[in-house]
Chain A
Amino acid sequence: DTAVSQTPKYLVTQMGNDKSIKCEQNLGHDTMYWYKQDSKKFLKIMFSYNNKELIINETVPNRFSPKSPDKAHLNLHINSLELGDSAVYFCASSRASYGGGGFRGNTIYFGEGSWLTVV
């Protein structure tokens, strides 16, 4: 019963294709994230959703479109894949990052990653 699960774990696809990575969390968290780790191992945030609402959108090409059907799921759809999109994509979740009473020291929990290779 993995807390944050991603599928697929490995994905090899050709340039120009459209692909999706799915993420589900069973922790009852309100906030979910997508992070990208490139070949140099830098881990950077891409998006964050809180209760299905987009709250963080870093400088990411609009070929990347996150979709949150409900607060337990945050899927990442990538159009027209390019070689530079090859990376490991990590989904994560936490309790709501803000709210009445201030910060609650929310821990962010990560999935095991999805290895995307574009050829």
Chain B
Amino acid sequence: DAKTTQPPSMDCAEGRAANLPCNHSTISGNEYVYWYRQIHSQGPQYIIHGLKNNETNEMASLIITEDRKSSTLILPHATLRDTAVYYCIVRASNTGTASKLTFGTGTRLQVTL
């Protein structure tokens, strides 16, 4: 699986959009970009994933650059409950092999009043 690079920490004011960047310059054509988050003392929570196109769900939006070398997770209106560590993960889609998530160190997002 390709390696990802994320800033170690970010701050965001409550009510503002939180834009979390991720670099995955060695991503290959069959690899998806996944985002998970881990709120303190809880299990990792799935947020969103995508391959090429931008994606949106009830939690967030995922913007993937055309060359797929980077992506941005957008929380449109951050709340205090969004304070967590956010993991950007590139996941292989190999047929016939086990699929797993390889977590990096993530970005610690602190949402403040």
Contact = CB atoms under 8 A, between A and B. Distances in A.
Interface of A: 4, 31, 33, 41-45, 48, 50, 55-56, 90, 92, 94, 97-99, 102-103, 105-113
A105 B62 CA distance: 15
B43 to A, nearest CB: 4
B95 A102 contact: yes
B9 interface: no
B49 A105 contact: yes
The listed residue with most B CB atoms (<10 A of its CB), out of A43, A108, A112, A113, is: A43
Interface of B: 30, 32, 34, 38, 41-46, 49, 51, 85, 87, 93-103, 105
B95 A48 contact: no
A22 B89 CA distance: 27
B93 A102 contact: yes
B43 A45 contact: no
Contacts of B101: 45, 108
Contacts of B94: 98, 103
Contacts of A106: 99
* Residue of B30, B42, B101 with most partner-chain A CB within 10 A: B101
B93 to A, nearest CB: 3
Nearest to A40: B105
Given A43-B87, A103-B99, A110-B44, 18 more contacts: A31-B99, A33-B100, A41-B85, A41-B105, A42-B103, A43-B38, A45-B100, A45-B101, A92-B43, A92-B44, A98-B94, A98-B96, A98-B99, A102-B95, A103-B30, A105-B51, A108-B101, A112-B43
6 contacts: A41-B85, A42-B105, A45-B101, A98-B99, A102-B95, A112-B42
Contacts of B51: 105
A48 B43 contact: no
- The residue in B34, B87, B98 that gathers the most chain A C-beta atoms within 10 A of its C-beta is B98
